[in-house]
């Protein structure tokens, strides 16, 4: 699973870099992409944590 997630993050970084390069003419060498993963217990919507909302919705993986 970790390897698959690593590959997806790499694709996200490459895609975001390409988008900024193509749309804004931003040089690749000065484009920084940061993936900041926030634990779902630390993120709230409508007064509830995202973890709780995902559990209510029956998500198989409520936490990130």
* pLDDT score recorded for residue 3: 64
Identify whether residues 25 and 10 lie together within a single domain.
yes
Identify whether residues 1 and 29 lie together within a single domain.
yes
Write down the pTM of the prediction.
Answer: 0.69
**Two structure tokens written together for 60:** 């198989």
- 3-state SS class at 31: coil
- Where do the H-state alpha helices sit in 1-64? 2-24, 50-57
List the domain range (segments joined by +) for residue 16.
1-33
* pLDDT score recorded for residue 53: 94
Taking the C-alpha atoms of residue 22 and residue 14, their distance in angstroms, rounded to an integer, is 12
Each residue's pLDDT tens digit in the chain (64 positions)? Answer: 456 888 999 999 999 999 999 999 999 999 999 999 999 999 999 999 999 999 999 987 777 7
Identify whether residues 54 and 26 lie together within a single domain.
no
Identify whether residues 28 and 42 lie together within a single domain.
no
Identify whether residues 29 and 43 lie together within a single domain.
no
* pLDDT score recorded for residue 2: 58
């Amino acid at each position: 699973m970790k390897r698959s997630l690593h590959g997806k993050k790499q694709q996200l970084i490459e895609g975001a870099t390409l988008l900024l390069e193509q749309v804004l003419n931003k040089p690749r060498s000065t484009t920084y992409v940061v993936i900041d993963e926030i634990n779902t217990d630390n993120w709230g919507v409508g007064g509830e944590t995202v973890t709780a909302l995902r559990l209510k919705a029956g998500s198989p993986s409520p936490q990130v």
